[in-house]
């Protein structure tokens, strides 16, 4: 489809609020989304690390799986242990193709009635729904919850802010969920997020989202944060962005996401691409996602070639930029396995010149998830 005939951009329920806050709106995954507000990306990033940032992530896909043992059904398409997931607990896992490539990364929450709430990426949600409906069969329904919004409140002050709105929610452990009434609105709250900070994601009816967002922004610790800082936060946290650091050509083992493959799943398989993935677990993959620290001040952006001391290309950068909390450029990318050890010297081809760098441990900024 040509640009002249592209479908119009969709808007989240918070579009008018973003405009009133002075957001700079950009196209993202078919939506008109805020990339930053008046404070700017650097200030929004540092505010989230110090206090609490409010993110509109309503463009993400929210799906409800119900029927005959939805957890067991979804396990046939992902390598995570979902059958062992307790009520109101959630898990990060990966939707796989038959070659072990990653079709999407997602969060699955087991609800109190045994159903699953699955949150998928905005750019892939249509394909994910079609794939799941095709693969799961008639025993499990896959319903899109397009009438719901999703907010993320992230940062060390997030729990204190929510404590003022509802008792009990602030006591949730990382990767657990609860039904709660926030400012008069019925919500599903999970202690999760994608910044590396402690925080929460709040699923609620779309019509209620502007009022709750406004209420949260009235708290002195909370500031609105756009896609720009969300990206720099997750990069410092060593977290993958779908379509960049992971895609249908990368396996969980190559992506350094082998920790998502449960012990029982490693022993018994039963997920797409299991033969490929289990072989990589046993023998090691040919390439690996690693953290990269440029030794100079020039950042290395996505697509930057990575070469060895003889100038041979051994990989490429998949995410990169300036890390505001690190105070220096940071990057992630794939390199041949022989070059993946921490401290290995590399060169990055930036603007035609080889710039020194080295393999660095991930995350660049320690995670601060709440694990009581």
74-129: per-residue pLDDT in tens? Answer: 999 999 999 999 999 999 999 999 999 999 999 999 999 999 999 999 999 999 99
Give the CA-trace dihedral at 58, 38, 16, 126, to 10 degrees: -30
Residue-level pLDDT at 372: 78
Spacing of C-alpha 44 from chain mean position: 18
- Burial grade of 139 (CB within 10 A; 0-12, 13-18, 19 or more): exposed
Q: Is 153 helix (H, G, I), strand (E, B) or coil?
A: strand
- Residue 38 to residue 142: CA distance in whole angstroms: 39
- Burial grade of 305 (CB within 10 A; 0-12, 13-18, 19 or more): middle
Query: Does pLDDT of 292 surpass 60?
Result: yes
Q: Is the pTM of this model over 0.85?
A: yes
183-238: per-residue pLDDT in tens? Answer: 999 999 999 999 999 999 999 999 999 999 999 999 999 999 999 999 999 999 99
* Helix 158-165 and helix 209-217, axial crossing angle in degrees, nearest 10: 120
CB 84 within 8 A of CB 134: no
Residue-level pLDDT at 252: 98
A 10 A CB-CB count for 330 gives 28
Query: Does pLDDT of 3 surpass 60?
Result: no
343-357: per-residue pLDDT in tens? Answer: 999 999 999 999 999
Count the residues in the chain.
Answer: 372
Contacts 24+ apart (CB under 8 A), 281-287: 281/253, 284/337, 285/251, 285/253, 285/254, 285/337, 286/254, 286/336, 286/337, 287/254, 287/315, 287/334, 287/335, 287/336, 287/337, 287/340
CB 105 within 8 A of CB 122: no
Q: Cα angle vertex 345, ends 340, 349, to 5°?
A: 100
Query: Does pLDDT of 178 surpass 60?
Result: yes
**Please, which residues have CB within 8 angstroms of residue 121's CB and are 6 or more apart in sequence?**
29, 60, 61, 104, 105, 106, 128, 242, 243
Residue-level pLDDT at 167: 82
CB 113 within 8 A of CB 177: no
- Residue 113 to residue 95: CA distance in whole angstroms: 23
């Amino acid at each position: 489809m040509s640009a002249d005939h592209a479908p119009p951009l969709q808007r989240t329920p918070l579009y008018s609020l973003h405009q009133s806050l002075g957001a700079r709106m950009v196209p993202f995954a078919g939506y008109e989304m805020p990339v930053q507000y008046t404070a700017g990306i650097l200030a929004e990033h540092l505010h989230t690390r110090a206090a609490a940032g409010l993110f509109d992530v309503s463009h993400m896909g929210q799906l409800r799986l119900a029927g005959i043992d939805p957890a067991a059904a979804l396990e046939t398409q992902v390598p995570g242990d979902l059958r062992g997931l307790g009520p109101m607990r959630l898990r990060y896992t990966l939707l796989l193709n038959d070659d072990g490539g990653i079709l999407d990364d997602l969060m699955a929450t087991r609800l109190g009635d045994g159903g699953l709430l699955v949150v998928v990426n905005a750019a892939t949600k249509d394909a994910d729904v079609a794939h799941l409906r095709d693969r799961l069969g008639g025993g499990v329904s896959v319903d899109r919850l397009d009438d719901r919004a999703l907010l993320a409140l992230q940062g060390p002050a997030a729990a204190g802010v929510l404590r003022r709105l509802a008792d009990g929610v602030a006591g949730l452990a990382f990767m657990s969920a609860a039904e709660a009434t926030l400012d008069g609105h019925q919500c599903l709250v999970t202690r999760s997020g994608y910044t590396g900070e402690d925080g929460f994601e709040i699923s609620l009816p779309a019509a209620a989202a502007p009022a709750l967002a406004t209420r949260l922004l009235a708290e002195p610790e909370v500031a609105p944060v756009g896609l720009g800082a969300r990206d720099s936060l997750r990069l410092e946290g060593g977290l993958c962005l779908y379509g960049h650091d992971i895609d249908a050509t990368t396996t969980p083992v190559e992506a350094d996401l082998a920790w998502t493959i449960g012990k029982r799943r490693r022993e018994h398989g039963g997920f797409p691409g299991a033969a490929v993935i289990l072989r990589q677990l046993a023998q090691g993959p040919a390439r690996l996602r690693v953290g990269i620290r440029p030794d100079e001040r020039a950042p290395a952006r996505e697509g930057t070639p990575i070469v060895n001391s003889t100038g041979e290309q051994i990989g490429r950068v998949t995410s990169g930029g300036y890390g505001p909390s690190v105070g220096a450029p940071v990057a992630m990318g794939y390199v041949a396995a022989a070059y993946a050890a921490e401290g290995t010297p590399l060169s990055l081809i930036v603007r035609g010149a080889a710039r020194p760098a080295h393999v660095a441990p991930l995350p660049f900024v320690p995670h601060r998830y709440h694990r009581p």
